[in-house]
Structure 1
Amino acid sequence: MGVRLDKSLISLDWRLMFQDAMIVHLGWMKSGHMPLLLRKAYLKNELERLDIRRGVGIDSFLDSKYSSIWKEYEQVLAKEEVHWYTKSKAKWLHLGDRNPKSFHGVTIIRRRRNRYDMIKDGDGNWVVDSEKLEEMATKFYKDLYTKDFIYLPLVTSHAFPKLRDEAREELRRIPSLREIY
Protein backbone atom coordinates (compact mmCIF):
# COMPACT_ATOMS: atom_id res chain seq x y z
CA MET A 1 0.00 0.00 0.00
CA GLY A 2 1.43 3.38 -1.00
CA VAL A 3 0.99 6.94 0.17
CA ARG A 4 -0.58 9.43 -2.24
CA LEU A 5 1.08 12.79 -2.58
CA ASP A 6 -1.25 14.22 -5.21
CA LYS A 7 -3.97 15.72 -3.02
CA SER A 8 -4.95 19.35 -3.27
CA LEU A 9 -6.56 22.06 -1.20
CA ILE A 10 -8.15 25.02 -2.94
CA SER A 11 -10.27 28.02 -2.02
CA LEU A 12 -13.62 28.88 -3.53
CA ASP A 13 -12.09 31.97 -5.20
CA TRP A 14 -9.41 29.82 -6.83
CA ARG A 15 -12.02 27.30 -7.99
CA LEU A 16 -14.12 30.05 -9.55
CA MET A 17 -11.06 31.47 -11.31
CA PHE A 18 -9.92 28.05 -12.63
CA GLN A 19 -13.18 26.26 -13.31
CA ASP A 20 -11.65 23.73 -15.70
CA ALA A 21 -8.96 22.55 -13.28
CA MET A 22 -9.19 18.99 -12.01
CA ILE A 23 -7.04 16.26 -10.54
CA VAL A 24 -6.98 12.98 -12.42
CA HIS A 25 -5.33 9.94 -10.87
CA LEU A 26 -4.02 7.58 -13.53
CA GLY A 27 -2.60 4.27 -12.52
CA TRP A 28 1.11 4.31 -13.33
CA MET A 29 0.70 1.53 -15.90
CA LYS A 30 -2.26 3.27 -17.57
CA SER A 31 0.11 5.83 -19.02
CA GLY A 32 1.92 4.47 -22.08
CA HIS A 33 4.65 6.99 -21.36
CA MET A 34 5.56 5.66 -17.87
CA PRO A 35 7.69 2.65 -18.96
CA LEU A 36 9.64 5.00 -21.22
CA LEU A 37 10.27 7.41 -18.34
CA LEU A 38 11.38 4.59 -16.05
CA ARG A 39 13.77 3.22 -18.69
CA LYS A 40 15.13 6.70 -19.38
CA ALA A 41 15.80 7.31 -15.66
CA TYR A 42 17.46 3.90 -15.28
CA LEU A 43 19.74 4.39 -18.30
CA LYS A 44 20.69 7.90 -17.21
CA ASN A 45 21.62 6.55 -13.77
CA GLU A 46 23.68 3.75 -15.36
CA LEU A 47 25.52 6.24 -17.58
CA GLU A 48 26.36 8.43 -14.58
CA ARG A 49 27.55 5.40 -12.60
CA LEU A 50 29.72 4.12 -15.46
CA ASP A 51 31.06 7.61 -16.09
CA ILE A 52 32.37 7.75 -12.52
CA ARG A 53 33.93 4.27 -12.80
CA ARG A 54 35.50 5.13 -16.17
CA GLY A 55 37.11 8.20 -14.63
CA VAL A 56 39.17 6.01 -12.30
CA GLY A 57 41.11 4.21 -15.02
CA ILE A 58 41.12 2.97 -18.60
CA ASP A 59 38.94 -0.08 -19.06
CA SER A 60 37.82 -1.20 -22.51
CA PHE A 61 34.95 -3.25 -21.05
CA LEU A 62 33.53 -0.16 -19.29
CA ASP A 63 33.98 1.91 -22.44
CA SER A 64 32.11 -0.70 -24.48
CA LYS A 65 29.35 -0.97 -21.86
CA TYR A 66 29.05 2.84 -21.70
CA SER A 67 28.80 3.04 -25.48
CA SER A 68 26.09 0.38 -25.61
CA ILE A 69 24.04 2.03 -22.83
CA TRP A 70 24.48 5.43 -24.49
CA LYS A 71 23.05 4.07 -27.76
CA GLU A 72 20.03 2.64 -25.93
CA TYR A 73 19.60 5.95 -24.05
CA GLU A 74 19.54 7.84 -27.37
CA GLN A 75 16.90 5.41 -28.67
CA VAL A 76 14.76 6.03 -25.58
CA LEU A 77 15.11 9.79 -26.07
CA ALA A 78 14.04 9.40 -29.70
CA LYS A 79 11.01 7.32 -28.64
CA GLU A 80 10.08 9.96 -26.06
CA GLU A 81 10.34 12.66 -28.71
CA VAL A 82 8.10 10.68 -31.07
CA HIS A 83 5.63 10.05 -28.22
CA TRP A 84 5.19 13.76 -27.51
CA TYR A 85 5.34 14.71 -31.18
CA THR A 86 2.53 12.29 -31.93
CA LYS A 87 0.43 13.52 -29.02
CA SER A 88 0.98 17.19 -29.79
CA LYS A 89 0.10 16.94 -33.50
CA ALA A 90 2.77 19.57 -34.06
CA LYS A 91 5.01 19.93 -37.09
CA TRP A 92 8.04 21.20 -35.20
CA LEU A 93 10.07 18.01 -35.49
CA HIS A 94 11.16 18.61 -39.07
CA LEU A 95 11.89 22.24 -38.21
CA GLY A 96 14.58 21.10 -35.79
CA ASP A 97 12.88 21.55 -32.40
CA ARG A 98 13.95 18.59 -30.29
CA ASN A 99 12.33 19.67 -27.03
CA PRO A 100 9.81 17.06 -25.78
CA LYS A 101 8.68 19.46 -23.04
CA SER A 102 7.31 21.86 -25.66
CA PHE A 103 5.42 18.97 -27.31
CA HIS A 104 4.06 17.99 -23.89
CA GLY A 105 2.86 21.54 -23.27
CA VAL A 106 1.08 21.71 -26.61
CA THR A 107 -0.58 18.35 -25.93
CA ILE A 108 -1.90 19.47 -22.54
CA ILE A 109 -3.23 22.73 -23.96
CA ARG A 110 -4.87 20.98 -26.93
CA ARG A 111 -6.47 18.35 -24.70
CA ARG A 112 -8.02 21.05 -22.51
CA ARG A 113 -9.12 23.16 -25.49
CA ASN A 114 -10.82 20.22 -27.24
CA ARG A 115 -13.10 19.36 -24.33
CA TYR A 116 -16.45 20.96 -23.51
CA ASP A 117 -17.76 20.52 -19.97
CA MET A 118 -20.61 22.99 -20.25
CA ILE A 119 -22.46 24.96 -22.92
CA LYS A 120 -25.06 27.73 -22.74
CA ASP A 121 -28.47 26.75 -24.05
CA GLY A 122 -30.76 28.99 -26.12
CA ASP A 123 -32.01 30.70 -22.94
CA GLY A 124 -28.50 31.55 -21.73
CA ASN A 125 -28.41 28.87 -19.01
CA TRP A 126 -25.30 26.75 -18.51
CA VAL A 127 -25.88 23.05 -19.20
CA VAL A 128 -23.47 20.56 -17.58
CA ASP A 129 -25.40 17.28 -17.88
CA SER A 130 -23.54 15.11 -20.42
CA GLU A 131 -26.74 13.62 -21.91
CA LYS A 132 -28.25 17.09 -22.37
CA LEU A 133 -24.98 18.31 -23.94
CA GLU A 134 -25.10 15.40 -26.38
CA GLU A 135 -28.71 16.24 -27.29
CA MET A 136 -27.81 19.91 -27.83
CA ALA A 137 -24.87 19.02 -30.09
CA THR A 138 -26.96 16.60 -32.15
CA LYS A 139 -29.77 19.14 -32.52
CA PHE A 140 -27.31 21.89 -33.50
CA TYR A 141 -25.82 19.87 -36.36
CA LYS A 142 -29.18 18.53 -37.53
CA ASP A 143 -30.49 22.09 -37.70
CA LEU A 144 -27.30 23.30 -39.36
CA TYR A 145 -27.44 20.76 -42.19
CA THR A 146 -31.21 20.83 -42.78
CA LYS A 147 -31.52 24.61 -43.24
CA ASP A 148 -31.49 26.10 -46.73
CA PHE A 149 -28.02 27.12 -47.83
CA ILE A 150 -27.55 30.85 -48.36
CA TYR A 151 -24.75 31.72 -50.74
CA LEU A 152 -22.74 34.80 -49.77
CA PRO A 153 -20.00 35.74 -52.23
CA LEU A 154 -16.55 36.08 -50.73
CA VAL A 155 -15.13 39.55 -51.25
CA THR A 156 -11.34 39.34 -51.47
CA SER A 157 -10.48 42.54 -53.30
CA HIS A 158 -9.43 44.34 -50.10
CA ALA A 159 -8.61 41.31 -47.96
CA PHE A 160 -4.86 41.27 -48.67
CA PRO A 161 -2.42 44.13 -49.24
CA LYS A 162 -0.83 44.33 -52.69
CA LEU A 163 2.80 43.25 -53.09
CA ARG A 164 5.39 45.89 -53.90
CA ASP A 165 7.38 45.47 -57.14
CA GLU A 166 10.54 44.43 -55.21
CA ALA A 167 8.66 41.66 -53.40
CA ARG A 168 7.15 40.41 -56.67
CA GLU A 169 10.59 40.31 -58.31
CA GLU A 170 12.01 38.40 -55.32
CA LEU A 171 9.26 35.79 -55.66
CA ARG A 172 9.92 35.38 -59.40
CA ARG A 173 13.69 35.00 -58.93
CA ILE A 174 15.13 31.48 -59.36
CA PRO A 175 16.97 30.48 -56.15
CA SER A 176 20.67 29.67 -56.30
CA LEU A 177 21.98 26.18 -55.50
CA ARG A 178 23.44 27.56 -52.26
CA GLU A 179 19.96 28.73 -51.17
CA ILE A 180 18.44 25.34 -52.01
CA TYR A 181 21.00 23.31 -50.10
Structure 2
Amino acid sequence: MRISSLMQKLKKIQGNKSSKENNRLETSLQNELNEWLYRSEVLWRQKSRELWLKERDKNSRFFHLSTIICRRRNTIEAVNNNAGDWVAEPKEIRNVFLENFKILFSEEEVETPQQLDDLVNPCILDVENQLLCSIPSPKDIMNTLFQMSDLKALGPDDFPVLFYKEY
Protein backbone atom coordinates (compact mmCIF):
# COMPACT_ATOMS: atom_id res chain seq x y z
CA MET A 1 0.00 0.00 0.00
CA ARG A 2 2.84 2.35 0.87
CA ILE A 3 4.50 1.77 -2.51
CA SER A 4 1.31 2.52 -4.45
CA SER A 5 0.64 5.69 -2.43
CA LEU A 6 4.22 6.88 -3.00
CA MET A 7 3.87 6.22 -6.74
CA GLN A 8 0.64 8.23 -6.86
CA LYS A 9 2.27 11.14 -5.01
CA LEU A 10 5.27 10.96 -7.33
CA LYS A 11 3.04 11.04 -10.45
CA LYS A 12 1.18 14.02 -9.06
CA ILE A 13 4.39 15.96 -8.34
CA GLN A 14 5.87 15.06 -11.73
CA GLY A 15 2.72 16.44 -13.36
CA ASN A 16 3.23 19.82 -11.63
CA LYS A 17 5.38 22.64 -12.93
CA SER A 18 9.11 22.23 -12.26
CA SER A 19 10.46 24.23 -9.33
CA LYS A 20 13.12 23.87 -6.66
CA GLU A 21 10.55 22.78 -4.09
CA ASN A 22 8.97 20.23 -6.46
CA ASN A 23 12.41 18.83 -7.45
CA ARG A 24 13.41 18.45 -3.80
CA LEU A 25 10.10 16.78 -2.94
CA GLU A 26 10.35 14.48 -5.99
CA THR A 27 13.88 13.43 -5.00
CA SER A 28 12.84 12.62 -1.44
CA LEU A 29 9.80 10.65 -2.68
CA GLN A 30 11.95 8.70 -5.14
CA ASN A 31 14.43 7.85 -2.38
CA GLU A 32 11.63 6.67 -0.11
CA LEU A 33 10.05 4.69 -2.97
CA ASN A 34 13.38 3.02 -3.73
CA GLU A 35 13.73 2.05 -0.07
CA TRP A 36 10.24 0.51 -0.01
CA LEU A 37 10.86 -1.31 -3.30
CA TYR A 38 14.08 -2.74 -1.89
CA ARG A 39 12.25 -3.89 1.24
CA SER A 40 9.58 -5.53 -0.91
CA GLU A 41 12.24 -7.33 -2.96
CA VAL A 42 13.93 -8.64 0.19
CA LEU A 43 10.57 -9.77 1.58
CA TRP A 44 9.69 -11.74 -1.58
CA ARG A 45 13.17 -13.24 -1.73
CA GLN A 46 12.80 -14.44 1.86
CA LYS A 47 9.30 -15.77 1.19
CA SER A 48 10.49 -17.73 -1.83
CA ARG A 49 13.30 -19.31 0.17
CA GLU A 50 10.90 -20.21 2.97
CA LEU A 51 8.49 -21.78 0.49
CA TRP A 52 11.32 -23.63 -1.19
CA LEU A 53 12.49 -25.01 2.16
CA LYS A 54 8.97 -26.20 2.91
CA GLU A 55 8.23 -27.74 -0.48
CA ARG A 56 11.57 -28.83 -1.87
CA ASP A 57 11.21 -32.46 -0.82
CA LYS A 58 7.93 -32.76 -2.66
CA ASN A 59 7.93 -33.47 -6.36
CA SER A 60 6.20 -30.14 -6.99
CA ARG A 61 6.10 -27.75 -9.89
CA PHE A 62 7.67 -25.08 -7.67
CA PHE A 63 10.68 -27.28 -6.95
CA HIS A 64 11.22 -28.07 -10.61
CA LEU A 65 10.94 -24.40 -11.60
CA SER A 66 13.34 -23.28 -8.88
CA THR A 67 15.83 -25.94 -9.97
CA ILE A 68 15.61 -24.78 -13.58
CA ILE A 69 16.07 -21.15 -12.52
CA CYS A 70 19.13 -22.05 -10.41
CA ARG A 71 20.58 -24.05 -13.28
CA ARG A 72 20.12 -21.11 -15.68
CA ARG A 73 21.64 -18.69 -13.16
CA ASN A 74 24.69 -20.94 -12.75
CA THR A 75 25.27 -21.40 -16.48
CA ILE A 76 28.01 -19.55 -18.31
CA GLU A 77 26.57 -18.62 -21.69
CA ALA A 78 29.44 -16.56 -23.10
CA VAL A 79 32.95 -15.39 -22.17
CA ASN A 80 35.53 -13.01 -23.53
CA ASN A 81 38.59 -14.74 -24.93
CA ASN A 82 42.12 -13.29 -24.82
CA ALA A 83 41.56 -11.46 -28.11
CA GLY A 84 38.51 -9.67 -26.64
CA ASP A 85 35.96 -11.57 -28.74
CA TRP A 86 32.83 -13.11 -27.21
CA VAL A 87 32.71 -16.90 -27.32
CA ALA A 88 29.32 -18.61 -26.94
CA GLU A 89 29.87 -22.22 -28.05
CA PRO A 90 30.26 -24.62 -25.08
CA LYS A 91 33.36 -26.29 -26.56
CA GLU A 92 34.99 -22.94 -27.25
CA ILE A 93 34.13 -21.69 -23.73
CA ARG A 94 35.74 -24.84 -22.32
CA ASN A 95 38.86 -24.21 -24.43
CA VAL A 96 39.06 -20.56 -23.30
CA PHE A 97 38.93 -21.65 -19.64
CA LEU A 98 41.45 -24.43 -20.26
CA GLU A 99 43.93 -22.10 -21.94
CA ASN A 100 43.56 -19.45 -19.23
CA PHE A 101 44.11 -22.01 -16.48
CA LYS A 102 47.16 -23.38 -18.30
CA ILE A 103 48.58 -19.87 -18.46
CA LEU A 104 47.63 -19.14 -14.85
CA PHE A 105 49.13 -22.32 -13.43
CA SER A 106 52.14 -22.68 -15.68
CA GLU A 107 55.56 -22.69 -14.08
CA GLU A 108 57.78 -19.78 -14.85
CA GLU A 109 61.51 -20.18 -15.35
CA VAL A 110 63.32 -18.67 -12.38
CA GLU A 111 66.92 -17.66 -12.71
CA THR A 112 68.96 -17.38 -9.53
CA PRO A 113 72.19 -15.42 -9.58
CA GLN A 114 75.36 -17.47 -9.00
CA GLN A 115 76.54 -15.35 -6.05
CA LEU A 116 73.48 -16.39 -3.97
CA ASP A 117 74.72 -19.99 -3.63
CA ASP A 118 77.43 -19.00 -1.13
CA LEU A 119 75.17 -16.90 1.11
CA VAL A 120 73.97 -19.84 3.22
CA ASN A 121 76.53 -22.05 4.91
CA PRO A 122 75.84 -25.78 4.58
CA CYS A 123 74.40 -27.23 7.80
CA ILE A 124 74.92 -30.88 6.86
CA LEU A 125 78.43 -32.19 6.46
CA ASP A 126 79.37 -34.45 3.55
CA VAL A 127 79.68 -37.46 5.88
CA GLU A 128 76.19 -36.84 7.30
CA ASN A 129 74.81 -36.40 3.80
CA GLN A 130 76.25 -39.79 2.74
CA LEU A 131 74.63 -41.42 5.79
CA LEU A 132 71.28 -39.81 4.97
CA CYS A 133 71.47 -40.96 1.36
CA SER A 134 72.47 -44.54 2.18
CA ILE A 135 69.85 -47.32 2.21
CA PRO A 136 69.16 -48.55 5.78
CA SER A 137 69.96 -52.15 6.60
CA PRO A 138 67.16 -54.60 7.54
CA LYS A 139 68.45 -54.58 11.12
CA ASP A 140 68.14 -50.76 11.29
CA ILE A 141 64.59 -50.97 9.94
CA MET A 142 63.64 -53.62 12.51
CA ASN A 143 65.14 -51.62 15.41
CA THR A 144 63.26 -48.50 14.32
CA LEU A 145 60.03 -50.44 13.89
CA PHE A 146 60.19 -51.97 17.38
CA GLN A 147 60.85 -48.55 18.93
CA MET A 148 57.56 -47.20 17.51
CA SER A 149 54.25 -47.26 19.43
CA ASP A 150 51.91 -50.08 18.44
CA LEU A 151 48.72 -48.21 17.51
CA LYS A 152 49.82 -44.58 17.16
CA ALA A 153 49.40 -43.96 13.44
CA LEU A 154 48.61 -45.99 10.36
CA GLY A 155 51.26 -46.45 7.73
CA PRO A 156 50.87 -45.51 4.07
CA ASP A 157 49.26 -48.92 3.50
CA ASP A 158 46.70 -48.35 6.32
CA PHE A 159 48.25 -50.96 8.62
CA PRO A 160 49.29 -50.07 12.18
CA VAL A 161 52.83 -50.74 13.42
CA LEU A 162 51.49 -53.64 15.51
CA PHE A 163 50.75 -55.56 12.30
CA TYR A 164 54.42 -55.47 11.27
CA LYS A 165 55.61 -56.35 14.78
CA GLU A 166 53.36 -59.43 14.91
CA TYR A 167 53.66 -60.69 11.36
TM bucket (normalised to shorter chain) is under 0.3
TM-score (norm 1): 0.25
More RCO (CA 8 Å, sep 6+):
1
| TM-score under structure 2 length normalisation | 0.26
1 or 2, which has the higher helix percentage? 2
Instruction: Name the larger-Rg structure.
Output: 2
